[in-house]
Amino acid sequence: METVTLTPKEQPELFIDAENITPNAFAGKNAAEIAGLSVFEGNQTQTLGQYFEVAGKAGATAEETKIVIKGDVTKVKYIGMRMNGGEIVVEGSADMYVGAWMESGSIHVKGNVDAFSGTGMKGGEIEVDGNAGNYLGAAYRGDWRGMQAGTIRVHGNAGSDIGTFMNGGTIIVEGDVDVHVGTHAEGGTIIVKGNGKSKIGGQMVKGEIYVFGTIDVMMPGYVYREDVDLEVDGASARFALFEGDMGERHPKRKGQVTYGKIYQKY
């Protein structure tokens, strides 16, 4: 695998839209060609080389290309958007839409990410050492297709509205989450190792949410069913199983109604 290193220069005045920071956009290019790729600052088209020192060269394909960003890019959006292979490592924090609609490959952010990371994600892996903002793995506003496949792991906390309209894949938050987890979900798995607030699983049709800590307010549309012993993300424990949201229409499978499930650890 070949490696391209991007070292940020001075912070831009405005936020940058950098949809071209992907292994698939870099594949087959040398440093000068990568530096010439377009980015947008406000309504102005600029080049990647205006904001980054570019070193190394890319592999022949996305799968053979690794991108290392050596520093904070908290004013750079869309890193890894729609990537379909390869690897990105951010040695700092990044702005919104990290890995949005990505299909395969891996992204590791050693700091924090802002909102809409992994939105509409179709495959691959995102790992965040710090915290994530709102709408992690959710649908884009106005859309009904959230995360469909892949895995997102956040070692810190996450904001509100994670997994909205999610219908596949796995989100693991090792810290706490804010309100509205898995709203409108029709599949997928959300694991919260810390505490949750209110409106967890609101209008969820299918899918599973595991909460290891407390839930401030359980949704009234959920009914307690039974206690179950499970192994979740490597931890064995007893959970209380709640099914819902009873206010929604639910499909049947082999004559049995399928509900969304919330498991809360004792």
Instruction: Encode the chain (266 residues) as per-residue pLDDT tens digits.
Output: 999 999 999 788 899 999 999 999 999 999 999 999 999 998 899 999 999 999 999 999 999 999 999 999 999 999 999 999 999 999 999 999 999 999 999 999 999 999 999 999 999 999 999 999 999 999 998 888 899 999 999 999 999 999 999 999 999 999 999 999 999 999 999 999 999 999 999 999 999 999 999 999 999 999 999 999 999 999 999 999 999 999 888 888 888 899 999 999 99
- Tell me whether residue 182 is in a domain: yes
Judged by phi (left if over 0) then psi (alpha if -120 to 50, else beta), residue 96 lies in: beta
- Sheet of 38-41: strand order equals 44-47, 38-41, 16-17, 76-77
Is the Cβ–Cβ distance between 80 and 61 less than 8 Å? no
Residue 33 DSSP SS3:
helix
Is the Cβ–Cβ distance between 1 and 64 less than 8 Å? yes
E strand intervals along the chain: 2-8, 16-17, 38-41, 44-47, 52-56, 65-69, 76-77, 84-90, 104-109, 125-128, 151-154, 167-173, 186-192, 206-211, 223-232, 235-244, 252-253, 256-257, 260-265
- Tell me whether residue 237 is in a domain: no
State both tokens at 69: 């960003």
Q: For residue 115, what are the domain limits?
A: 2-216
- Tell me whether residue 265 is in a domain: no
- Tell me whether residue 117 is in a domain: yes
Residue 6 CA: distances (Å) to CA of 52, 67, 69, 195: 6, 7, 5, 37
E strand intervals along 12-110: 16-17, 38-41, 44-47, 52-56, 65-69, 76-77, 84-90, 104-109
Q: What is the pLDDT of residue 135?
A: 97
- Tell me whether residue 131 is in a domain: yes
- Tell me whether residue 75 is in a domain: yes
Q: What is the pLDDT of residue 98?
A: 98
Residue 64 DSSP SS3:
helix
- Tell me whether residue 168 is in a domain: yes
Q: What is the pLDDT of residue 142?
A: 87
- Tell me whether residue 241 is in a domain: no
Q: What is the pLDDT of residue 84?
A: 96
Is the Cβ–Cβ distance between 80 and 94 less than 8 Å? no
Q: Structurally, how many domains does the chain consist of?
A: 1
The span from the CA of 137 to the CA of 181, in Å, is 11
Longest Cα–Cα distance of the chain, Å, equals 61
The span from the CA of 50 to the CA of 47, in Å, is 5
* Residue 94: φ, ψ to 5°: -130, 165
The span from the CA of 91 to the CA of 109, in Å, is 6
Q: What is the pLDDT of residue 249?
A: 87
